[in-house]
Amino acid sequence: MKMLITAALPALATAAALLAPGQAFAGSSDGKLQIKVLGTAVLPDGKIVDVKNDPLALTMGANTKANDNYVPTLAVEYFFTPNISAETICCFTTHGVSGTGTLAPATDIVDHVMILPATLTLKYHVPLKGGIKPYVGAGPAMFLIFGEKPGSSVTALGVDKVRMSNNVGFALQAGIDIPINDKGMGLSLDAKKYFVDTTARFFAGNAEVLTTKHTLDPWVLSAGISYRF
């Protein structure tokens, strides 16, 4: 996963340089680089799939869910050939976790968790008439999790800290690029399905009072504009 992050950083640095004021670039529908600015819906799961530590039997008949979020996303793509490319994305998404089942009254279990979905996909594009290119892709992903805070539903029980693990998984991808002109501008629609778990540990003081494994497994749906050069 260190290789994944190392691979992503140069692409993001390139994107920053390309978007800097005063820079001018000649776009091309056959260019090696493509930048996408997207609006993205992040639709996670969040249910409990395993209970590793539950001395008070709090999770009997209980489950959880994570709320949806909508964020801007930057995608950077490099074309090795006209039909094969690699893409990484940059975004932060923030979520909360609430209860379902017997935990339904617990509406605020985790009131803040920020996720950076470090992702690198290899994509295959199918050229159609008019320059339209549907594609499919797949690759590794790592969810880096920051700023977890216990919600009011568990702090009332004495929980004062929650920690969620960074886990490696993978992503499947499909979408379509639609040219607007022959100068590299286009529209993009993209869908990713992630398969990533996390382990949540709840603490009261130094005592770990609950440990649960959750599927995050979000759908990540994006639409926006692209520029290739």
8 Å CB contact between 43 and 218:
yes
109: closest CA among 164, 53, 71, 61? 164
Q: How confident is the model at residue 151 (pLDDT cuts 50, 70, 90)?
A: very high
In this predicted model, what pLDDT tens digit does every residue of 168-201 receive, in sequence order?
Answer: 999 999 999 999 998 999 999 999 999 999 999 9
Q: With pLDDT > 90 as the criterion, what percentage of the chain qualifies?
A: 78
Mean pLDDT of 66-91: 96
What class is the 2-19+30-43+69-151+164-198+217-228 domain? mainly beta
Q: How confident is the model at residue 61 (pLDDT cuts 50, 70, 90)?
A: confident
Would you call 85 exposed, middle or buried from its count of C-beta atoms within 10 A (0-12, 13-18, 19+)? buried
pTM: 0.85
Would you call 98 exposed, middle or buried from its count of C-beta atoms within 10 A (0-12, 13-18, 19+)? buried
**Rounded CA gap, 39 and 132, in Å?**
20
Q: Per-domain residue ranges for the chain?
A: 2-19+30-43+69-151+164-198+217-228
Asked whether residue 54 carries a pLDDT value surpassing 50, the answer given is yes
8 Å CB contact between 26 and 182:
no
